[in-house]
Amino acid sequence: MFFGLIGSLVNAAFTMSAANQQIQMMKANAAWQKYESQLNHEYEKQKRLTEQTKLLSQQRARGAASGVVVGTGSSLITMVADMEEFENDMWFLEKGLWAETKARDAELAGQIAATTYSAGSSIIGGFGKAIGQYQTQKAIS
């Protein structure tokens, strides 16, 4: 009995250690994915900002070439509409990153809970088996 209990304790220690290592790996992977998402987000944001700057410059240049004064009329309306669309795109880009981060956090929490549950079940099962063996040996003796 004593050796069965010791074996169960050792097995429990190994199970918890393995579960903790697995959880640390999950957290590190999630942190890397978050960093990668933020880099991609910043790249996309910068790319769209550059495109918008070029568009506004082209609109001003076309207006100047045609002799239209920027500040009145349809050219201004066009520029304002383009800026509103750009700002809307930026807002959705930010919300997309936020939603992606929240989804990834929820997924990580689920993985950690599943790993912890699995380790706990394994430990309880091991102790249950050891107690069952002890009761069997006690009944035989």
Nearest CA-CA partner of 59 in 85, 94, 36, 33:
85
CATH code of 82's domain? 1.10.287
Which residue ranges in the chain fall short of pLDDT 50? none
Angle 137-138-141 from CA coordinates, rounded to 5°: 85
Q: Which domain holds residue 125?
A: 2-140
- pTM value is 0.66
Q: How many domains does the chain have?
A: 1
pLDDT tens digits for range 82-91: 889 999 999 9
Whether 115 contacts 8, CB under 8 Å: no
What pLDDT is stored for residue 7 in this prediction? 72
What pLDDT is stored for residue 80 in this prediction? 84
Angle 93-106-88 from CA coordinates, rounded to 5°: 15
Torsion of CA 33, 122, 21, 97, to 10 degrees: 10
